Structure 1
Amino acid sequence: MTPTADLLILNARVLTLDPGRPKATEIAIIDGKIAAVGAKGELASLRGPGTEVIDAGGGSVVPGFSENHMHLFSGSAELVHLQLSGVHGLPALTEAIRNYGKDRLEQVMLFAQGADYTILGGEERLTRHHLDAIWPDQPLALFAPDHHTAWANTKALELANLLHGAELRPGNEIVMGDDGLATGELREMEAFSPVQAAGGFARYRLGLATGGEPDPRPTDLEWRTDMEVMRRGLEYCARHGITTIQNMDGNLYQLELLAAIEKEDGGLPCRVAIPFHFKNFMSLDMLEKASAMSKAYDSDFLRSGMVKVFYDGVLDSWTAVMVEPYADRPDYVGEGLFTPERFREIAIEADRRGLQIAVHAIGDGAVRAVLDGYEAARKENGARDSRHRIEHIEVVHPDDLPRFAELGVIASMQPPHPPGCMGVPLEPTVSRIGRSRWPLSYAWRTIKNAGARICFASDWPVSPISPIRGIQAAMIREPWQATDPDQSFTLMEALEGYTTEGAYAEFREDRKGRIKPGFLADITILNADIESVAPDKLGEVEPAITICGGKITYKAN
C-alpha cells in the first residue's frame, strides 16, 4: 500500500537546486523527508484523508535557507536593544536614545546596536562626552554594526572600571584621550566585554568573548530567561525562512540550552551547529573540549564539530591585519589576535583531531596567515576533506586567490557587508582599504572564479538576517569604480550560497540543501515568484511558510 503524504505542497514554482530535476510544481513530504517531487497532478496518489495540503499560490518554493554565519544567542538577546540602523546625526541620535531610555530608568545599563562609525557625520568620532550630553545619569553603551567597537558614556566606563584604561592583550584597545582618561571608544571584545558584563549581558556574549561557561552556574530563573531568549531567536530565524543555523560563536552552555529546547514539544524550529570558540589566551589542550562537544552533539538537528577562531578585527577600527599598510594610516598594517606561528599550531592540532576550522579573517594579511595555517596542517597531518573555512575575507591578496581551491578552503562571505550595500556607508571603510585594493575587496565573483566554494550569510546581528535581502545584495552589487571587476552573483548562484553551499560547508550535502526525494524536508515557501521579480525589488519578497523536518515552523498571517 502506497503511504500518503503528511504534507503536500501544490501550485508551486519549485526551484529544487537538484540538477536532475531543476523545477517542479508539487512536493510530497512523509516522516520529515521529501518523498516525491513532481509536476501538476503527478503526486495525487499520495494525497490521503490525513494529508495537510499547502497551496503555494504560484510563489517560489526553495530549499530551506541555511544561515551560514551568525551569532544566535547574542543576536536573540539584542532584539530588545535600541536599534540605531539608519540613525544619523547628533540630533537624531539624541532623540532615539532619550525616547528609548525614558521608560527604562530601572535598567543597570542601556544598550544600543547598529551605530555607524560615521553616525555623527564626517570624520568626527563618537566619544563619552557626546553620550554624556545625551544621557549622563545612567550607564549607556552603543555598539557598531560590526560588533567590534563600542562607545560608552562616563557612567558605563566607571561601572566597568575602564575610565582610567586597562591592560589588554594585542588586538584590543581602550582609546585614551589627552586628559589621560578613556575617550569612550572601545575597540574589540576584550576592551568592551567589561561594559557588557557590568550591564548584565555577559552570558549572551560568552561564546564570543571567552568561549567559556557561565561561572557561577546560572540560577533556575536565569536558565529560564536564557531559554526564552534562545526561543525568541530561533523563532526570528524561522520567520525569515531559515531552517539551518551555522553559529559562529560557541560554548557548551549554548548547546545545553538548545538540547533542552529540542526535548520540548515542537522541538527545535531550526537545525543548529554550535562551534567551540578557541581564544588567544587558551592552550592547545583546550581543544579536547572541542572534541568532546563534537562527540556529544552530532545529530541532524543539533551538532558541534567546529573550532571558531578570530584572527583579526575589522577595517573600520584599523584592527584588521593587512599585507600592506592601511591607505589612510600608511605606517600601520594592524595587529593580529594570534601570531602566524601560533595559529599554525592551533590549525595543525584541530585538524589532527578531525575538527573543522572556521576563522574570522578580514584583512588580506589575516587571510594569508590563515591559509598558511591550513597549508601547514595539510602538510603535517596529510590531505583530507577538511572543508576548513575563512569567514568574511573582506580583502584578499591576488597571490592567495588560487590557494582556496588548492587547499579545499571554503570562502564564507556576507552579501550585506560591502560598503554601499544595504545601507552600509562607504566611509570610512573604502578609504581604509585604498583604491588599489578595491578590485579585491569583498571579491565574491573573483574568489568563485578562482575555483573556491562560497557560502553566504548575514553575520546577524551585524547585518539584517533576511536571506532574501542577502540574495538581493549579491545580485545588485555594483563596483565602487568603473575599473573594478563585477562581483555580483546571478539569482541561482546567490540562492545556492544560502542552500546547497551551506549544506556542503557542514558536510550535509547528501541530505539537505536541495528539494530532492530522500532529502530532509527543509523548505521555504515565498509569497512571490522570485524569478519574475526585478533584482532591486527582491528584498520585498517574504517567506510565507517555513518547514523544517516536515514541520511548519512559521506561517505568515
Structure 2
Amino acid sequence: MMKTIAMKKLLSGLTLAASCIALNYANAATLVSNVKGYTLNDKGNLIQFSNLVMDEGKVVALDVQPKNYDIESTIDGGGKVMLPGLIDAHGHLLGLGANLLEVNLRESTSAANAAKMVADYAFANTTQQWITGRGWNQELWSDRAFPTAKDLDSVVSDRPVVLTRVDGHAAWVNSKAMEIAGITKDTQSPVGGEIIKDAEGNPTGVFIDNASMLIEKHLPSASNAVYQQQLDAASEHLLANGITSMHDAGISRDVYDFYLKESVESELAIRIYAMVSATDPELSTILGNGTIRDKDDYLYIRSVKAYGDGALGSRGAALLAPYSDAPHQHGLLLTQPEDMTNLFTTVIGAGFQLNYHAIGDKANHVALNEFESTFKRIGGSELRNRIEHAQVIAPDDLARFSDLKVLPSMQPTHATSDKNMAEDRIGKDRMKGAYAWKTLLNSGIALPLGSDFPVELANPFYGLHAAVTRQDRDNQPVKGWYAHEALSIEQAFKGFTLDAAYAGHMEDTLGTLTEGKWADFILVDQDIFTIDPKHIWKTKVLSTYVAGEQVFSLTND
C-alpha cells in the first residue's frame, strides 16, 4: 500500500476536475480522408461524413475542404467504414486480463471436460502454486448439474484449484483448496453466500457469492507486476475489438493505486472510468481523496460499485417471489437492507456516483427504494447513479428508473446467453420486466450498454447484434427472444457510444466524433447501419486509433 506522502505526490500529478484542452488550430493538422464515417452529433442524431481533421489528438471538424486547413499529414481510410471508438459501460479490466492468462473454461461441455482442460493447463504450468480459471457454466452442460470437488481431485490433487463461474458469482474448487481454507462439514455459510453441501452435509466444492471469499482470501496477493501483465493483455484485446474506453466495475485500493501510477506515468493504453468497490476497507479514504480525472482522460475515478445480489444462473439473484425452478430459494442479498442507508449516504454524500449491482427484481426494487429515500434526504440525483445489469425488474418498477434519473446499465449479450435458462428460473410472468431494454429506453432514460467481460465476450459487435436481433450468433430463436424489447441499430450504437460516455460523465470529451472531442475511432470492414442485422456480429476491426494515434492494426498481426 502506498504511503501518504507518495499518494499526495501521485495525486498532485492529476487534475481533480474535467478540463477540456483548447485546440490550437494553428498547429499542423492530420486529415483522415476517404472514409464512410458515422457518428452521433451531440444531440444524439446519427450523421455521416467523408473526412475528418484532427489536431493534438482531438477532432477539429468533419467534412472539410482540406485547402482551408494546414494539413501536415493524411491518413487514407481506403473507403472503409469509420466509427467512434466504442465504449463498454460495464466490464472488469484486470479480470479480463487474468482470464486471458489462465485456464479458460468457456467452451467446456461437461464437468469432466472442464477438468480435462484444468489438467492440461496444470501440466503446462508446473510452477504455478494455485491453478485458477474461469468460464464454466453448468447450464450449458447436458446434466445442468453443479460440478464437484471430486471432478477436480481426479486430475489435480496436489495443488489448490479455484475456478470461477462464467458470471463471477460462484467458485468451483478441489479438495486441496478446501483443506487450505479449513472448510469442513461444520463450516457455516456466510451472510450473502452459500456453501453447497450434499445430502450428508459435506461441502461439494461449489461456493456461491460471498461464500467464495472463504476460499479466495487464501489466493496469493497480486502484485503490480501481475496487474501489469493483466492490464497489457486486456488492453491489447479490447483495442483489437474496437473498444477504446471502458467502465471498470469494481476496483480495490491496490488496483486504484496501480491505476494512479499508470496514469501519472502515461502508461494507460485504454481509457478507464473506474468504479471503486464498496466493499474495500479503505473506501472512506478513497472517497476523501475526491474525484480524479487526468488531463488526457485516460483515468477518471468518481464512482463506487456496490453489490446487491448474485446472478440468475447460480440462483443468487434476489427475487421478490421464489425461483420457479427452485421454490425454496429466493436468491441472496449481498448488501443487507440495514446496511444500505449508510452506504448510499456515504457514497452519494461524498459526491460520488453510486453504481449498484442488481439482477433480481428484489435487488432492483430495494435499490430503487434506497435511491429514492436518499435523494429526498440529501439529494444526489444529478450524479447519474446507476443500476448495473437491471436484469429482472418488477413491471411496476420500470418507470421508476426515469422518474429517479437512475441509469439502467445493461448488457445485451446477457439476454442471448440467458435465454435457455431465464424463463425456467423466473417463469413467463416475470419475463414482462426482464431484459427490458426498449421499455426502459422509451421511458426517457439513457441506456448505457456493455458486455460485463469476462462474463461475456468483450467484442462489442456481439453486443450490438444481440441488442438489435435478440438472437444468438446462430440466429436463434428465428424471430428473436422477446423481440419486442429489441433496439434499432441507431439506439444500440448510442448505447455503446454517447449514452455510455454520459453514464461516465464524459460526454464532454468522448462518445462522438464532434469538434473538441478526442479523436478515438475505428475502421471496420462492413457497414453496420445498412447490412442485414444478423451479420452485425461478424464485423471485423481493421484499425483502432486513440487520441489520433494508431494503437491497433489488423494487418500488423
TM-score of the superposed pair, with normalisation by structure 2: 0.88
Residue number in structure 1 paired with 2:53: 28
State how far apart, in whole Å, the 1-side matches of 2:69 and 2:189 are. Answer: 63
**Counterpart amino acid of 1:36?**
A
Kindly indicate whether the alpha-carbon contact (under 8 Å) linking 1:244 and 1:271 is maintained by their aligned counterparts in 2. Answer: yes
The whole-number CA distance in structure 1 between the counterparts of 2:241 and 2:363 is 32
Residues 2, 154 of structure 1: alpha-carbon distance in 2 compared, 3 angstrom cutoff = closer
Whether the 8 Å CA contact 1:8–1:47 is kept in 2: the answer is: no
Which secondary structure state, in structure 2, belongs to the residue aligned with residue 274 of structure 1? strand
The equivalences for 1:309-458 within 5 A come to 309-382=306-379, 384-418=381-415, 421=416, 424=417, 426-458=419-451
1:68 CA displacement? 0.7
1:319 and 1:412 map into 2 onto residues whose CA distance is 19
SS in 1 for 2:54: strand
Moved more, 443-452 or 98-107: 98-107
Matches within 5 A, 1:250-261: 250-261=251-262
- Matched residues in 2 for 1:485 and 1:58: separation? 34
* Alignment of structure 1 residues 49-198 onto 2, 5 Å: 50-51=72-73, 53-90=74-111, 92-164=113-185, 166-188=187-209, 190-198=210-218
The alignment partner of 2:90 has SS state of strand
The answer for the alignment partner of 1:38 in structure 2 is 63
Q: Which residue of 2 aligns with 1:17?
A: 40
1:395·1:440 contact (CA, 8 Å) conserved in 2?
yes
| Contact 2:111 2:147 (C-alpha < 8 Å) held by counterparts | no
User: Which deviations, in whole Å up to 9, do the C-alpha atoms of 1:119-174 show, x marking residues without a partner?
Assistant: 54224321112222343343222221101011111122212322446345321111
Report the 3-state secondary structure (helix = DSSP H, G, I; strand = E; otherwise coil) of the residue aligned with 1:102. Answer: helix
Q: Which residue of 1 aligns with 2:225?
A: 224
Match of 2:512 in 1: 514
Structure 1 residue identity aligned to 2:148: T
Distance (whole Å) between structure 2 residues aligned to residue 2 and residue 372 of structure 1: 50
Deviation readout 1:35-69 (Å, 9 max, x if unpaired) = 11106xx2344363x41x32222222111111111
Question: Residue in 2 aligned with 1:270?
Answer: 270
CA contact 1:287–1:350 (8 Å) conserved in 2: no
SS of alignment partner, residue 496 of structure 1? helix
- Structure 2 letter corresponding to 1:536: K
> How far 1:293 moved relative to its partner?
3.9
Could you say what secondary structure the match of 1:456 adopts?
A: coil
**Which one-letter code corresponds to 2:344 in the other structure?**
A
Q: How far, CA to CA, are the matches of 1:67 and 1:482 in structure 2?
A: 23
CA distance in 2, matches of 1:127, 1:469: 32
Residues 390 and 384 of structure 1: CA distance in aligned 2, closer, same or farther (over 3 Å): closer
Q: TM-score, normalised by structure 1?
A: 0.88
Within 2, Cα distance between the matches of 1:120 and 1:512?
Answer: 41
Runs (5+) with no aligned partner, structure 1: 204-221
Match of 2:236 in 1: 235
- Distance 1:414-1:76 versus aligned 2 partners, 3 A rule: same
For residues 217 and 30 of structure 2, the distance between their equivalents in structure 1, rounded to whole angstroms, comes to 46
Matched, 1:294 2:290: yes
CA distance in 2, matches of 1:540, 1:225: 33
1:427-452 CA-to-partner distances (Å, cap 9, x unmatched) read 44331111211232111112112222
Distance in 2, Cα, partners of 1:2 & 1:346: 47
Q: 1:323 to 1:499 in 2, by over 3 A?
A: same
Contact 1:70 1:459 in 2 (8 A): yes
Asked if the contact 2:349/2:380 (under 8 Å) is kept, the reply is no
Q: Show structure 2 runs of 5+ residues with no match.
A: 1-23
* Equivalent position amino acid for 1:268 in 2: L
Are the counterparts in 2 of residues 4 and 46 from structure 1 also a CA contact under 8 Å?
no
| Distance in 2, Cα, partners of 1:78 & 1:470 | 19
Distance 1:399 1:534, change over 3 A: same
| Structure 1 residues 93 and 349, CA gap change in structure 2 (3 angstroms) | closer
**Equivalent position SS for 2:333:** coil
Q: Give % identity.
A: 26
- For residues 410 and 2 of structure 1, do their structure 2 counterparts lie closer, same or farther at Cα, with a shift above 3 Å needed? closer
- Root-mean-square deviation (CA), in Å? 2.5
Cα distance in structure 1, aligned partners of 2:145 and 2:46: 55
Q: Is the 8 A contact 2:46 2:490 kept in 1?
A: no
**Other structure's SS at 1:533 match:** coil
Mapped contact 1:58–1:528 kept (Cα < 8 A):
no
Q: From 523, 526, 529, give the equivalent of 2:524.
A: 526
Pairwise CA distance, 1:371: 0.6
Measured after TM superposition, the shift of residue 523 of structure 1 is: 1.4
Relative to structure 1, the CA distance from residue 194 to residue 345 in structure 2 (aligned partners, 3 Å threshold; closer, same or farther) is closer
1:317 is displaced (CA, Å) by: 2.1
Which stretch shows the higher mean deviation, 170-179 or 458-467? Answer: 170-179
Contact 2:25 2:55 in 1 (8 A): no
- The structure-2 alpha-carbon separation of the partners of 1:339 and 1:159, relative to structure 1 and needing over 3 Å to count, comes to closer
In structure 2, distance between residues paired with 1:455 and 1:367:
17
How many angstroms does 1:296 deviate by?
A: 4.5
Secondary structure, counterpart of 1:122 in structure 2: coil
Deviations 1:66-106 (A, max 9, x none): 11111112221221111122221355334423332221233
CA displacement at 1:306 relative to structure 2: 0.6
Matched-pair contact (CA < 8 Å) for 2:39–2:512? yes
Deviation at 1:256, TM superposition (A): 2.6
User: Tell me, what secondary structure is at the counterpart of 1:378?
Assistant: helix
CA contact (8 A) 1:165 1:174 kept: no
> Quick one: distance in 1 between partners of 2:492 and 2:28?
31
